[in-house]
Amino acid sequence: MKAHYVSMVALVAALIAPAQAMAYLGSFGPADGYYPQYGTMLGDVTYYNAGQSGPNAGGGATMQIIADTGLWTLQSPVGGVFGNTPDRNAYIAPGLLYPPSDPNNVPAYLLGGHFPGHNNDGYNLAFRNDTPIGTGPAIYEYSIDTYDTGGPVPANVIGGVSSIGFYFCPNPIDVPDPSGQASHKFTLSVKDSFGTIGLEWGYARDNEVTWRDSPSNPWTYTGVYADATNWDGIDIDIDLTADTFGIDYYDVSSNTWSTMVPAGTPLGMPLFNITTLRWQLEDGVTTGTGGKNYFDDFSIQTAVPEPSSFALLALGGLALLPVLRRRRRAVTG
């Protein structure tokens, strides 16, 4: 029965229309639902409805919420800086992983509404982890929503090609971890609704750009070093039907795009859909402006499931169920 179910899932993927929808995770300013880093409201994205207000993200007001109840969640004990301990404690639900003490003396946070921005728009997303080496990485997850995809529900897009594009500016070179266990600095992981990570992209402490097709495989070091004073770019294409991907890279110094990973490279683990982006910054990242790593101008493009195709599939699936049951009885009987 399971094999027949998988075949039906494959049929759904085959029926995905070639039409595309495009929106964006954002430029991380007020129009995209990100509060400026300074002001009466805390900037860390886990304490307010980041990405869920403003004209580009559903409208409505930007407001503080109980930590981890919005699109952004903290997945590690490191992170979630707050202006002061009493205010911070008021927004933390019991059982969360946030540190028990005020982390202001050792900043670790993810802030929207930061400056400067790519294309001089004045805003970016700033990731910082000044904790001593050995403390552990700061890990956040972002749940992609319909404003990011331009309409399609991310969990329902199970076929066709989806693209994730953005620009980034790392902090200057950081010293290696003396233990040799954390030569990496930043990792962006692409996850599906089952928690599977299909590929990871990032860069090492010397800002050499890296990628791997799954967390269980070693990093590929590309020999490309990101510019720590300007914005390089990334475009990741993932074919959910063929279980393959490709990566193109924008080098700001030469103003050129080039292929970093050829299209058609197999995913280490197949992705059912794309619902989550996982952000990880290692500890002891301190050089430059407090060790801040910047990200901006995210765009997400997905295939659009054609409603008529799903209607046909539903009808066909109902018609097939008696046949599948008879075949199952024949095999097991």
Cα gap 309→14, rounded to integer Å: 10
Q: How many domains does the chain have?
A: 2
Phi, psi of 136 (to 5 degrees): 120, 160
Q: Is residue 181 part of a domain?
A: no
The radius of gyration of the chain from alpha carbons, rounded to an integer in Å, stands at 21
28 and 113 assigned to the same domain: yes
3 and 140 assigned to the same domain: no
Its sign, for the CA torsion 318, 322, 325, 331, is negative
233 and 330 assigned to the same domain: no
* pLDDT computed for residue 60 by the predictor: 87
Average pLDDT, the chain: 80
Q: Is 0.85 topped by the overall pTM?
A: no
314 and 168 assigned to the same domain: no
Q: Is residue 246 part of a domain?
A: yes
77 and 131 assigned to the same domain: yes
pLDDT band at 176 (very low <50, low <70, confident <90, very high): confident
pLDDT digits (tens, 9 = 90+) for 88-111: 666 665 555 555 544 445 788 899
105 and 80 assigned to the same domain: yes
pLDDT band at 26 (very low <50, low <70, confident <90, very high): confident
Domain limits for position 165: 19-150+158-175+186-194+213-303
pLDDT band at 58 (very low <50, low <70, confident <90, very high): confident
Q: Is residue 206 part of a domain?
A: no
pLDDT band at 132 (very low <50, low <70, confident <90, very high): confident
Cα gap 29→117, rounded to integer Å: 9
251 to 163, 183, 258, 272: CA distances (angstroms): 19, 23, 8, 31
Asked if 250 and 167 count as a contact pair (C-beta separation under 8 A), the reply is yes
pLDDT digits (tens, 9 = 90+) for 198-243: 999 999 999 999 999 999 999 999 999 999 999 999 999 999 999 9
